């Protein structure tokens, strides 16, 4: 006996199939365990952490809204109806996400992979401002891989960021200090001051504008001059002044405070804790004409104090300080004035004096081609140190220093650095 199907039943089934073909399917569920989502989330939070901001946390309810809009954009691409002017929905998705937010934005990107998506957002002023907004607490992400031949398998990604007071109360406070240990400060030919955050050995393509009016600066130093845990900018000016701009935890730099009112144009300076018991970093100042080396105390974290002669014979050399042998005592490294650029080590006793003896050659050659040398502490992370060097070609190099060894350099900037005044 064969089953039969009544005409009414067939009609209902056909109608159901027809409607199913007309209705959009439910959006896929993407969670933070999705590898593509996890990479974008990690990159987003890496940029926030690098700027002293707490990470944004995953919000699945927001993510479902993000995913639905990513699918809608992909449908439009497939049907050749996609337009940039309608890439954002009304309200940018703020009408759909859970209520209670006090800040919101939406980022959309189309590119080949997660890193290119985030890199593009970070290169766009508006998108970058959203990722780095201190009010952001929650994030949702959605994505679709295109099938339209003109898009070559690119990804459509929607990122919705929101700020919720309840989440914010559980997050660590933001640190908006403009400069961090390991960063590189730079003044361009227009007198604009920028900070290049450490990329932990990667290319320093990203920079943050701080202020203008630095046309007459001839040297920069990054140091925590008043020991408040926030890095400051020390500047030596062509008129002989020495100033400090204190970093602010709320963002930006203070107005200049004078460390020395005149006479500094003939010195090369470095801020460092030359003595182990110093409360604040002092100044190692090399008089370029005579080659004498002085230590200037910093008793209050403001103006410098008295000076002490600590060495002679450094005329024509470039000097920098670091704890070369990791014994807790600061040492001095000098590039020789002649030849191909040897590096000599002058070890200190931790009390302000050099240890007598033959000066060890720690690099026999190769440093004569550098037009800038400075110590770059924490550039590869907390507890690390190294040497920042700019080649005559304009490339920027970093040489990690491990106990008793200057390691091979890595390129952290390609071309264009020769026009900048640098500090680290």
| Mean pLDDT, all residues of the chain | 91
Give me the mean pLDDT over the 295-317 stretch.
Answer: 95
pLDDT at residue 22 in the model:
37
Query: What's the CA gap between 236 and 265, in Å, rounded?
Result: 7
Q: What is the 3-state secondary structure (H, E, C) of 210-273?
A: EECCCCCEEEEEEECCCCCCCCEEEEEECCCCEEEECECCCCCECCCEEEECCCHHHEEEEEEC
pLDDT at residue 14 in the model:
28
Percent of the chain scoring above 70 in pLDDT: 94
Whether the predicted pLDDT of 160 surpasses 70: yes
Of the pLDDT bands very low, low, confident and very high (cuts 50, 70, 90), residue 178 is: confident
Residue 148: which CATH number?
A: 3.40.33.10
Lowest-confidence pick of 14-23, 199-208, 343-352: 14-23
Q: Over the stretch 80-94, which tens digit does the pLDDT of each residue have? A: 999 988 999 989 999
Provide the number of structural domains found in the chain: 2
85, 196: one domain: no
Query: What's the CA gap between 53 and 46, in Å, rounded?
Result: 9
259, 339: one domain: yes
Whether the predicted pLDDT of 335 surpasses 80: yes
324, 278: one domain: yes
Of the pLDDT bands very low, low, confident and very high (cuts 50, 70, 90), residue 8 is: very low
413, 276: one domain: yes
pLDDT at residue 133 in the model:
93
pLDDT at residue 25 in the model:
53
The answer to the question of residue 372 being in a domain is yes
Residue 396's domain comprises 184-423
Give me the mean pLDDT over the 151-180 stretch.
Answer: 92
Closest C-alpha to 201, from 414, 56, 400, 420: 400
The answer to the question of residue 176 being in a domain is no
The answer to the question of residue 345 being in a domain is yes
pLDDT at residue 172 in the model:
87
194, 54: one domain: no
Of the pLDDT bands very low, low, confident and very high (cuts 50, 70, 90), residue 251 is: confident
pLDDT at residue 26 in the model:
59
Lowest-confidence pick of 1-5, 149-153, 396-400: 1-5
pLDDT at residue 338 in the model:
80
Q: Could you tell me which residues come within 8 angstroms of residue 413 by beta carbon, excluding any fewer than 6 positions away?
A: 196, 203, 204, 395, 396
Whether the predicted pLDDT of 23 surpasses 50: no
Give me the mean pLDDT over the 306-327 stretch.
Answer: 96
Whether the predicted pLDDT of 168 surpasses 70: yes
338, 410: one domain: yes
Structure-model confidence comparison of residues 250 and 421, the more confident one:
421
Residue 14 tokens read as 């056909």
Of the pLDDT bands very low, low, confident and very high (cuts 50, 70, 90), residue 39 is: very high
pTM of the full structure: 0.69
Of the pLDDT bands very low, low, confident and very high (cuts 50, 70, 90), residue 208 is: confident
């Amino acid at each position: 006996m064969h089953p039969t199907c009544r005409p009414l039943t067939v009609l209902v089934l056909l109608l159901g199939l027809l409607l199913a073909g007309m209705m959009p399917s439910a959006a896929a569920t993407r969670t933070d365990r999705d590898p593509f989502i996890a990479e974008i989330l990690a990159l987003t939070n890496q940029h926030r952490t690098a700027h002293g901001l707490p990470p944004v946390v995953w919000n699945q309810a927001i993510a479902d809204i993000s995913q639905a809009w990513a699918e809608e954009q992909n449908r439009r691409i497939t049907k050749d109806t996609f337009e940039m002017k309608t890439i954002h929905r009304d309200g940018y998705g703020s009408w759909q996400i859970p209520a209670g937010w006090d800040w919101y934005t939406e980022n959309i990107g189309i590119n080949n992979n997660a890193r290119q998506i985030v890199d593009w957002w970070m290169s766009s002023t508006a998108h970058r401002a959203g990722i780095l907004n201190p009010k952001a607490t929650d994030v949702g992400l959605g994505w679709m891989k295109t099938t339209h031949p003109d898009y070559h398998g690119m990804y459509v990604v929607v990122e919705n960021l929101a700020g919720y007071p309840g989440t914010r109360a559980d997050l660590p406070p933001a640190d908006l200090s403009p400069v961090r240990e390991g960063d590189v400060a730079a003044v361009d030919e227009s007198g604009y001051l920028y900070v290049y955050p450490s990329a932990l050995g990667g290319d320093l393509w990203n920079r943050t504008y701080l202020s203008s009016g630095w046309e007459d600066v001839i040297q920069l130093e990054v140091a925590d001059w008043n020991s408040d845990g926030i890095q400051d900018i020390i500047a030596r000016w062509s008129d002989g002044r020495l100033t400090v701009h204190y970093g602010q935890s709320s963002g930006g730099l203070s107005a200049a405070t004078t460390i020395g009112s005149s006479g500094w144009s003939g010195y090369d300076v470095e801020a460092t804790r030359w003595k182990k018991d110093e409360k604040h970093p002092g100044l190692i100042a090399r008089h370029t004409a005579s080659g004498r080396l002085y230590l200037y105390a910093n008793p209050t974290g403001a103006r410098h104090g008295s000076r002490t002669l600590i060495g002679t014979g450094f005329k024509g050399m470039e000097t920098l300080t670091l704890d070369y042998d990791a014994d807790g005592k600061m040492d001095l490294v000098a590039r020789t004035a002649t030849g191909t650029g040897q590096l000599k080590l002058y070890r200190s006793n931790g009390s302000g004096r050099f240890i007598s003896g033959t000066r060890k050659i720690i690099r026999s050659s190769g440093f004569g081609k550098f037009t800038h040398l400075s110590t770059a502490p924490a550039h590869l992370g907390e507890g690390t140190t190294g040497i920042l060097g700019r080649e005559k070609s304009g490339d920027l190099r970093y040489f990690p220093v491990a106990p008793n060894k200057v390691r091979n350099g890595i390129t952290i900037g390609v071309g264009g650095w020769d026009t900048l005044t640098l500090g680290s």
